[in-house]
Amino acid sequence: MVNYSKRLPFILATLLSVLSPLSIAGSPIIEIEIRNHLFFPDVITIPADTKIKLMIYNRDNSSEEFESYELNREKIIPGKSRAVIFIGPLPAGEYPFFGEFFPKTAQGKVVVK
């Protein structure tokens, strides 16, 4: 009789290591630009219950911090660089985000339908 209880953790770890990159690689990609301290587009619409990869390109010379309390995300993006932020899966609703360094102009929202 084979004792599977000792092999189970190894089998589960192997499955997770193989399947996790597939789920991330398959995430839809949304591109956002920061230009003149504004987000373009400033409103993005995504489907509910779907993990999304945000590719954020900062075209400005200065750094900006992508911030959202509702999405529980914050990331500093140096000038002339890019960052990747994963969001979701999310229920339907609106989730505002802003640039912490220029909050009066750098504003946007994610609309989940």
What SS3 class is residue 99? Answer: strand
What SS3 class is residue 72? Answer: coil
Q: How do the domains of the chain map onto residue ranges?
A: 24-112
**54-93: pLDDT as tens digits:** 999 999 999 999 999 999 999 999 999 999 999 999 999 9
Residue 51: both structure tokens together: 């993990």
CATH superfamily of this structure's domain 24-112: Cupredoxins -  blue copper proteins (2.60.40.420)
**40-55: pLDDT as tens digits:** 999 999 999 999 999 9
d(CA 10, CA 15): 9
DSSP code of 38? E
Q: Please report the pLDDT score of residue 15 as a whole number.
A: 56
Specify the pTM. 0.76
Query: Residues 77, 66: contact at Cβ < 8 Å?
Result: yes
